[in-house]
Structures are given as C-alpha cells and as structure tokens.
Amino acid sequence: MNQENNFLVFAGTKSQYLTEEICKYLNCPLGKMKVDRFADGEFAVYYEESIRGKDVYLVQSTFPTADNLLELLLMVDAAKRASAHYIVAVIPYFGWARQDRKDKPRVSIGAKLIADMLCAAGISRLITMDLHADQIQGFFNVPVDHLYASSVFTEYIKDNLSLENLVIATPDVGGTKRANSYAKYFGVPMVICHKSRLKANVVDEMRIIGDVEGKDVLLIDDIVDTAGTITKAANLMMENGAKSVRAIASHAVMSDPATSRIEQSALNEMIFTNSIPYHGGGKNVRILSVAKMFAEAIRRVSSHESISLLYNL
C-alpha cells in the first residue's frame, strides 16, 4: 500500500517508533512533519508536504507528560488548516481514561474533556486500543474504532506458553469482564482478586475469590502504573498455592517504582504491548508489538472495510 491510496501516516514525537513499524506493514512512507521547539518549552507543528485533500492518520499516544496530548491537538489543527480531507487520530494509549466518571463530589471527568478537545480540534475519527472504560467511546461525536490487544496476547499465549493448568485471573473486580472474555476463549476457570484502596495507587487489602492451588495463573489487566496491584495479586496467588503466575497488560505506564516491584515479585513474566515506549528493562518483562494490528485497522478504514474481523474475543 502506498500514497496512491490517498492517505498519509504521520507520527507524533513519542510514538514515532510505533508509526515507523506501522508504515512498514502498510508499505507506505512515513509522512514528513516537523515540530519546532522554543526555549520556553512552547512548540509548533507543521507538515513538510502537501496534505490537501488527503486522508491523514496521526499516530500519538497521550501518556504523560501532557505535551504528548498537546502535540497531537496541534497536529490535528495543522491538518485541518492545511485542508486535509479526513483526519484520523490514532491513539494506541488514550491517557486520562481512568477519569471516566464522577466518582466523588467536585471532580473532573478528564476523559470527556480530552474527547471534547480532540473533536473541537477537528478529528474525523478515532482509532484507539483497550480503553480503561468502554463507555469513553460515547464521549466522542465522531466514529470510534476500539481495538483490543487480545488478538496479540492470545496468539502469544498459544504459541509460546505451555500452561497445562491455566486459570485466568483479574487483579480487581473492575477487570472481571475483560478476564471473563479470556476465560471463555481458552475454556478455563476464572478467579477474582478483590481489593480495597486507601487512596490512588495504594492497595490496602486484597483477597482471592476462587481456587488457584496447583494452577498456572494468568493475570489480565489493561494498565500497569506503579505495579502495586498486579504484583500484590501475583504474590497472593503464589501464597495460595499457585504453580506459576504471569500477567498481561495492554499499556505499560510503569511509573516508579513499577520496574523494581515487578522484578522483586512472584511474576514469572510480565507482558505488555508497545502502545507506550518502555525502556525500563527487567528480565521478566516482555513487549509485544501492536503495529500490525493498527496497520490493518488503518488499511480497512481507508478502504471502507469492516474491522470486526480483527477481534477474536
């Protein structure tokens, strides 16, 4: 696939590594764009080639810092002012997604605000992956293609892990629906960890609902931030007689001290996608690429084909 198909793919600064891989699968060149940065931290975006009448796909995950989100907004605005025909924001990791509801008085709903900002900037469509809450799709007034990393994870599990007594587990009640999909797919039991928090990123108490004795446990989550929950759950599984514990999570936010916690935990393996660049290393951390999945989604959207065949859960 090439530019004759009337679309161009551009990369935000912090997602260039993933966009280059996406372009290889699409057999198209990476679009030429430049970000000028000023001494005070301000920056400006401009395209170094004509995008008039083109469908443009702008790839940028909006993980901290907020500069990544602002850069994407400027990319969208510049594309709109350059007369792009169709502007698709490709956001592998949608930041602020944990602020999806008003769960206490006088609190912001960050996910809705970000959706409004992207729509106001001028996006025509959103392609994203494993939103923290499915209802965020309804915050947008444009079509949303919500991809799932499960297609990447299930392939890896089947091809690389020989787990005879597999049990799917969720580190918190909120992830039950996600974990249940994996349990049904593999035809295995599911257990749940029930946790209570004193405050954000601090787990007070956790207990297991279900039996893990002699089992190969696979924990399912969408985001690992400080790794407090996932490592506490893994350690609890081993304390309750599990044979082995592994974990998969779509987005490696990995704020300090996440890397050291994972290395010191009972986890045999921690598996992420490359939706966010992770350079922390760790002998038991593995990164799987979602470039092929996003490339296929872009190809299908550009050719007006269904993307439902990309889902296997």
If you average pLDDT over every residue of the chain, what do you get?
93
Residue 31 contacts residue 58 (beta carbons within 8 Å):
no
Q: In the predicted model, is pLDDT for residue 107 greater than 80?
A: yes
In our burial notation (b when 16+ CB lie closer than 10 A, e otherwise), range 243-258 reads bbbbbbbbbbbbeeeb
Geometric angle at alpha carbon 285, from 283 and 288, rounded to 5° = 135
Give the integer Cα–Cα distance in Å for 131 and 215.
Answer: 29
Give the integer Cα–Cα distance in Å for 288 and 310.
Answer: 17
Q: Which CATH architecture has domain 150-289?
A: 3-Layer(aba) Sandwich (3.40)
pLDDT reported for residue 201: 53
Q: In the predicted model, is pLDDT for residue 113 greater than 80?
A: yes
Catalytic sites, residue numbers: 195
User: Do the domains 150-289 and 7-147 match in fold?
Assistant: yes
Give the integer Cα–Cα distance in Å for 282 and 259.
Answer: 7
pLDDT reported for residue 1: 42
- Name the band, by pLDDT with cuts 50, 70 and 90, for residue 2: very low
Give the integer Cα–Cα distance in Å for 2 and 28.
Answer: 4
> Is 198 strand, coil or helix?
strand
Give the integer Cα–Cα distance in Å for 12 and 22.
Answer: 13
Query: Could you say which DSSP state residue 220 is in?
Result: E
Which residues make beta-bridge pairs with 129? 147
Question: Rounded to an integer, what is the distance from CA 246 to the centroid of its chain?
Answer: 19
Report domain extents, the chain: 7-147, 150-289
Q: Quick: pLDDT tens for 146-205.
A: 999 999 999 999 999 988 899 999 998 888 999 999 999 999 999 999 876 556 656 567
Instruction: Give the residue ranges of DSSP H helices in 59-173.
Output: 67-81, 110-121, 150-160
CATH number of 7-147: 3.40.50.2020
Q: Quick: pLDDT tens for 73-97.
A: 999 999 999 999 999 999 999 999 9
Give the integer Cα–Cα distance in Å for 189 and 207.
Answer: 17
Question: Rounded to an integer, what is the distance from CA 207 to the centroid of its chain?
Answer: 27
Q: In the predicted model, is pLDDT for residue 309 greater than 90?
A: no
